[in-house]
């Protein structure tokens, strides 16, 4: 079967790598001649709103999916007229706009930070009164990896925040002094069957994910997260993998955002789970049975940002796996990741101590507070 992917970055690349053993073929649509998925799949060069390109992809493919959510709504609809497209265009539209996304969370009873829209400096000042401080000002659209965000600590920050982001539709939301950040990776098949991966704990710096560990041994939180994720999957008649990111505050989840695609915090599943998120996304969009989502012991994923670590040194650490994306080194760019698998949490931490410095972090950079109810942790 032929799978078309809109976007040719590392997510498309890892989808293709997961799909070849299932006897699938891939074409990726991307405007960049050096799109890294083009090294492992046929590259169809073109803009995402170029009708002839979209039609060519739809013509060839049995199903079309995405490697990022900021696909123009019109493009998704053009594809939908010709071919099966998953996840549904509605899920993309919701995830593109923080206002629609947060309104959906609210409608489904999923806790989310207090928020209000902002269209002028005057509205920002009024919004600060309503939401309180500290608060995050965010662009409604096209924000990712911490881009398009401004943290306001005091009312006097309003002018600078407006100068930095003003001119496009904005959202002010309350700042959550979280204990930890987690994500839920859930998948829904064409037949409505669902599965969830173990809860993942994430560490961001400068808005970019740096380290994930899974499973997080917090069964109550996991149940709460799976429940919220299933509400989203069912409401959206979703097909494919959905990632939902949460803050944890006072032992409860507060939803930050969702991504209607495979997700960076799920890369550990390639070696660390029975079925990887990439394979399960493909199984879902093709109408195949979903694979088991259980973790195989303990896993961590270190993002390689800007440059790749020395390969031999990484591979010398027992349980470490190296993933280069075939991208040129550039500051701030995700160029690869390392997965570490271990049988025990202690062995995982010992391996991380060796691996983190190789990827440019300090060995003790990403410690988590103890879990409530787990005094020994």
In the complex with ligand AMP, the residue whose CB is nearer, 244 or 295, is 244
Please compute, for residue 219, the number of CA atoms within 13 A of its CA located in the half-sphere on the CB side. 2
Please, what is the minimum distance in Å from the beta carbon of residue 229 to ligand AMP? 16
Radius of gyration, alpha carbons of the chain: 20
In the complex with ligand AMP, the residue whose CB is nearer, 245 or 279, is 245
Please, what is the minimum distance in Å from the beta carbon of residue 179 to ligand AMP? 11
- Report yes or no: 172 and 128 within 8 Å, Cβ to Cβ: yes
Please, what is the minimum distance in Å from the beta carbon of residue 202 to ligand AMP? 7
In the complex with ligand AMP, the residue whose CB is nearer, 173 or 279, is 173
In the complex with ligand AMP, the residue whose CB is nearer, 169 or 192, is 169
- Report yes or no: 33 and 45 within 8 Å, Cβ to Cβ: yes
In the complex with ligand AMP, the residue whose CB is nearer, 26 or 361, is 361
In the complex with ligand AMP, the residue whose CB is nearer, 113 or 215, is 113
- Report yes or no: 42 and 101 within 8 Å, Cβ to Cβ: no
Angle 73-80/51-60 helices, nearest 10 degrees? 40
Provide the 3-class DSSP secondary structure of residue 46: coil
In the complex with ligand AMP, the residue whose CB is nearer, 138 or 321, is 138
71 phi/psi in degrees, rounded to 5: -80, 135
Please, what is the minimum distance in Å from the beta carbon of residue 203 to ligand AMP? 9
Please, what is the minimum distance in Å from the beta carbon of residue 317 to ligand AMP? 27
In the complex with ligand AMP, the residue whose CB is nearer, 20 or 144, is 144
Residue 227: partners with Cβ closer than 8 Å, 6 or more residues away: none
DSSP state of 122: H
**E strand segments, 169-223:** 170-174, 180-188, 194-196, 200-205, 208-214
List b or e across 176-195, with b for residues whose CB sees 16 or more CB atoms inside 10 angstroms. Answer: beeebbbbbbbbbbbeeebb
Q: Residue of minimal CB distance from ligand AMP?
A: 176
Find where tokens 């990439």 sit: 278
In the complex with ligand AMP, the residue whose CB is nearer, 136 or 352, is 136
Please, what is the minimum distance in Å from the beta carbon of residue 186 to ligand AMP? 18
How far is Cα 142 from Cα 132, in angstroms, rounded to an integer?
Answer: 25
Residues in touch with ligand AMP (CB under 6 A): 113, 136, 143-144, 146, 173, 175-176, 181, 204, 207, 245, 256-257
Burial (CB < 10 A; 0-12, 13-18, 19+), residue 374, is exposed
Structure tokens at 191: 């037949």
Please, what is the minimum distance in Å from the beta carbon of residue 256 to ligand AMP? 5
Structure tokens at 72: 């123009």
Please, what is the minimum distance in Å from the beta carbon of residue 366 to ligand AMP? 13
How far is Cα 5 from Cα 134, in angstroms, rounded to an integer?
Answer: 40
Please, what is the minimum distance in Å from the beta carbon of residue 135 to ligand AMP? 8
Please, what is the minimum distance in Å from the beta carbon of residue 297 to ligand AMP? 26
Provide the 3-class DSSP secondary structure of residue 30: strand
In the complex with ligand AMP, the residue whose CB is nearer, 207 or 370, is 207
Of 133, 129, 130, 127, which is closest to residue 162 (Cα–Cα)? 127
């Amino acid at each position: 079967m032929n799978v078309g992917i809109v976007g040719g970055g590392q997510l498309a690349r890892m989808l293709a790598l997961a799909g070849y053993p299932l006897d699938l073929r891939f074409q990726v649509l991307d405007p960049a001649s050096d799109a890294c998925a083009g090294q492992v799949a046929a590259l169809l060069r073109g803009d995402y709103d170029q009708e002839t390109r979209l039609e060519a992809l739809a013509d060839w493919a049995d199903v079309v999916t995405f490697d990022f959510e900021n696909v123009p709504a019109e493009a998704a609809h053009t594809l939908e007229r010709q071919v099966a497209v998953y996840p549904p265009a509605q899920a993309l539209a919701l995830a593109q706009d923080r206002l629609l996304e947060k309104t959906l969370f609210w409608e489904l009873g999923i806790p989310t930070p207090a928020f209000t829209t902002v269209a002028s400096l005057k509205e920002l000042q009024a919004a600060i009164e309503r939401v309180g401080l500290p608060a995050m000002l965010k662009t409604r659209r096209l924000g990712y990896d911490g881009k398009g965000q401004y943290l306001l600590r005091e009312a006097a920050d309003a002018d600078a925040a407006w100068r930095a982001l003003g001119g496009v539709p904005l959202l002010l939301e309350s700042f959550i002094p979280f204990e930890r950040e987690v994500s839920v990776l859930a998948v829904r098949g064409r037949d409505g069957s669902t599965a969830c991966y173990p809860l993942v704990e994430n560490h961001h710096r400068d808005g970019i994910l740096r380290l994930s560990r899974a499973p997080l041994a917090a069964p109550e939180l996991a149940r709460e997260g799976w429940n919220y994720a299933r509400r989203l999957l069912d409401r959206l008649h979703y097909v494919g993998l959905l990632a939902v990111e949460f803050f944890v505050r006072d032992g409860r989840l507060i939803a930050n955002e969702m991504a209607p695609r495979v997700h960076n915090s799920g890369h550990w599943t390639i070696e660390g789970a029975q079925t990887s998120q990439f394979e399960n996304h493909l199984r879902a969009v093709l109408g195949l049975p979903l694979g088991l989502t259980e973790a195989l012991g303990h896993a961590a994923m270190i993002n390689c940002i800007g440059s790749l670590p020395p390969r031999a040194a990484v591979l010398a650490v027992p349980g470490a796996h190296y993933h280069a994306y075939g991208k040129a080194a550039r500051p701030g760019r995700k160029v690869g990741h390392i997965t570490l698998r271990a049988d025990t949490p202690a062995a995982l931490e010992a391996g991380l101590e060796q691996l983190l410095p190789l990827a440019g972090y300090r060995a003790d950079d990403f410690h988590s507070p103890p879990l409530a109810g787990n005094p020994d942790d």
